Structure 1
Amino acid sequence: MTVNGIDVASYQTSTFSTSGLGFVMVKATEGTSYINPKHTAQVAHARAAGVTVGHYHFARPGSMSAQVAYFLQHAAAAPGDVLALDWEDTGVSGADKDAFIKALQKESPAHRVLLYCNVDFWLHRDTTSFCGDGLWIADPESDAGHPRVEHAWTLHQYSVSGGVDRNVANFASSDALTAWAAKGSSGAVPKYEPFPGASWFTVGRKSPVVAAMHARLVAVSCNHYQTSSNKDVIGSGDIASYQAWQRKCGYSGAAATWPPGKTTWDKLHVPTS
């Protein structure tokens, strides 16, 4: 099984669809003089959807250590985010590629670091097979999840659809991807409330979990509340807001009605109270 995801840059909107996605990789920087002007908004949009977030840097010829510092300064990666080197410029050597990844791992040891490149770079320019914590391979001529490389892969960019690059991650589930991205760091990634069961969601129930759900629904732009008073008590605002979240997750009809289901609840990432 694989997990669906996309990668975006300044060419894409900051309100891209996150329906059915488990991760979004966002371009942050290029060289030492370019910052994606939509990076902050695109990352915020991805976080609001509860997906794993990644940041990537497009390397240019020059000092690799300076580019690592520039990337980290402007990516502002949070715990559990993924970092990646985009290796496409023919003026950046394989040795430069290795130096960048090693420097990035040294400067940001709590984050997973990936190498992005196409099949030609991997097979004909790379000489070490070094790709940090995993290979993000671009191979649009192969089916999703079946890139034409023998090396183990982590992400596969397999096509462009709707003006967005489509990817799959080599994980059994979004939760498995999130756990891998957390790199086993204790307390680095927030814990989320487990699904309490559909029968738990009764009107009038009072709980700090309800207040936490309220805050998350507002954060993901599904705010249909008339007031913020009694936000720890389930009411009509919670029902309307959660149904908006279900629709945002791609559900419709009977599947987008109260009470919550486990899939949309887990994706909402309600923090433990």
Structure 2
Amino acid sequence: MTVKGIDVASYQSTTYSTDGLGFVMVKATEGTGYVNPRHAAQVAHARAEGVVVGHYHFARPGSMSAQVSYFFQHAGAKAGDILALDWEDTGVSGADKDVFVKAAQRASPSHRVLLYCNRDFWLNRDTTSYCGDGLWIADPDAAAGHPRVEHAWTVHQYSSAGGLDRNVANFASVAALRTWAAKHAAAEPGHEPFPGAAWFTVGRKSPIVAAMHARLVAVGCDHYQSTANKDVIGSGDIASYEAWQRKYSTEHHKGWTGDALKWPPGKESWDALKVPDV
């Protein structure tokens, strides 16, 4: 099942229809010199209609850190809103998009940050498969909910018919989407919060690693060759966690393939593993 949504910019009305929709993504900014003049009104309309709200920034060549600051200055995101980078300018490199997404995640850890791009950019320009908290993929030649990418996707923009971009989000219900978007508000007490993908480097020593080791064994994903150095990330942790990702994807019908099943851990599977506080 999926949740229907649209994305809008300055050329759309401020009173667009939300009939049957669960979310609306609104263009906020572009580069460091443009603000969608209808952004505030379009967001207010979405809030009044009770749908999940997103804000996106269209990246232009130049300083990514300056564009992140500009985006946050004008987006006015509230708790539970989604943020996104729109990557479709050929002058913005894959390294640039990684810098933007990671900087946005650091600047606002309580918000989900998505990467939007078309299939050509994802397959032929991207080199890292980094998309923050999820991939928003544009593939209008594919049926809704069936984008032609191997990576796990969060939102599929499948049509621009009639001048309106239509999307589906990969969630069973609007409630599930809202819970996901709330991020930290949905985190359970007593468990280690996701430390970020960059934290999971081979050789890192931490009591969190030992706690993860114990949980992976407990859920039946024990691919460890030794019980020595449980608090140091090694090949056993990688094999065991990838086994957990496969198990979680299968049991929850995620359909993950490719990099989505590879190390390092992602937030969704980490939260589901329930590594206890240490």
Normalising TM by the smaller chain, what interval?
0.5 to 0.7
AA at the equivalent of 2:123:
L
Secondary structure at the aligned position of 1:162 is classed as helix
AA at the equivalent of 1:160:
S
Secondary structure at the aligned position of 1:166 is classed as strand
Structure 2: how far apart are the matches of 1:56 and 1:162? 21
Match of 2:159 in 1: 159
Kindly tell me the number of residue pairs found equivalent between the two proteins: 187
AA at the equivalent of 2:12:
Q
Identity of aligned residues (%): 78
Structure 1, 177-186 or 2-11: larger mean CA deviation:
177-186
Structure 2: how far apart are the matches of 1:145 and 1:72? 30
Secondary structure at the aligned position of 2:117 is classed as strand
Q: CA deviation at 1:168?
A: 0.1
Cα deviations by residue, 1:67-126 (Å, 9 ceiling, x for unpaired): 000000000100000000000000000000000001000001110000000000000000
Match of 1:106 in 2: 106
Match of 1:72 in 2: 72
Secondary structure at the aligned position of 1:117 is classed as strand
Q: CA deviation at 1:186?
A: 6.2
AA at the equivalent of 1:145:
G
Match of 2:265 in 1: none
Structure 2: how far apart are the matches of 1:64 and 1:70? 10
Cα deviations by residue, 1:203-262 (Å, 9 ceiling, x for unpaired): xxxxxxxxxxxxxxxxxxxxxxxxxxxxxxxxxxxxxxxxxxxxxxxxxxxxxxxxxxxx
- List gaps (5 residues or longer) in structure 2: 188-278
Secondary structure at the aligned position of 1:185 is classed as helix
Secondary structure at the aligned position of 2:97 is classed as helix
Match of 1:19 in 2: 19
- Mapping of residues 176-187 of structure 1, within 5 Å: 176-185=176-185
Cα deviations by residue, 1:38-59 (Å, 9 ceiling, x for unpaired): 0000000000010000000000
Structure 2: how far apart are the matches of 1:133 and 1:186? 15
AA at the equivalent of 2:129:
S
- Mapping of residues 18-37 of structure 1, within 5 Å: 18-37=18-37
Structure 2: how far apart are the matches of 1:186 and 1:126? 31
AA at the equivalent of 1:134:
G
AA at the equivalent of 1:49:
E
Match of 1:261 in 2: none
Alpha-carbon spacing, 1:171–1:186, altered in 2? closer, same or farther (3 Å) = closer
- Mapping of residues 205-224 of structure 1, within 5 Å: none
Secondary structure at the aligned position of 1:6 is classed as strand
Secondary structure at the aligned position of 1:45 is classed as helix
- List gaps (5 residues or longer) in structure 1: 188-273
Structure 2: how far apart are the matches of 1:87 and 1:71? 14
Structure 2: how far apart are the matches of 1:63 and 1:159? 31
AA at the equivalent of 2:176:
A
Match of 2:145 in 1: 145
AA at the equivalent of 1:180:
W
Match of 1:55 in 2: 55
Match of 2:83 in 1: 83
Q: CA deviation at 1:160?
A: 1.6
Secondary structure at the aligned position of 2:185 is classed as coil
Secondary structure at the aligned position of 1:101 is classed as helix
Does the Cα contact within 8 Å between 2:23 and 2:53 map onto a contact in 1? Answer: yes
Q: Could you say which structure has the greater relative contact order, defined with CA pairs below 8 angstroms and 6 or more residues apart?
A: 1
Q: Post-superposition, which runs of at least 4 consecutive aligned residues in structure 1 deviate over 4 A?
A: none
Greater fraction of residues in helix:
2
Structure 1: how far apart are the matches of 2:186 and 2:156? 29
Structure 1 vs Structure 2 CA RMSD: 1.0
- Mapping of residues 242-261 of structure 1, within 5 Å: none
AA at the equivalent of 2:165:
D
TM-score where L is the length of structure 2: 0.66
Secondary structure at the aligned position of 1:114 is classed as strand
Does the Cα contact within 8 Å between 2:179 and 2:186 map onto a contact in 1? Answer: no
Match of 1:248 in 2: none
Match of 1:246 in 2: none
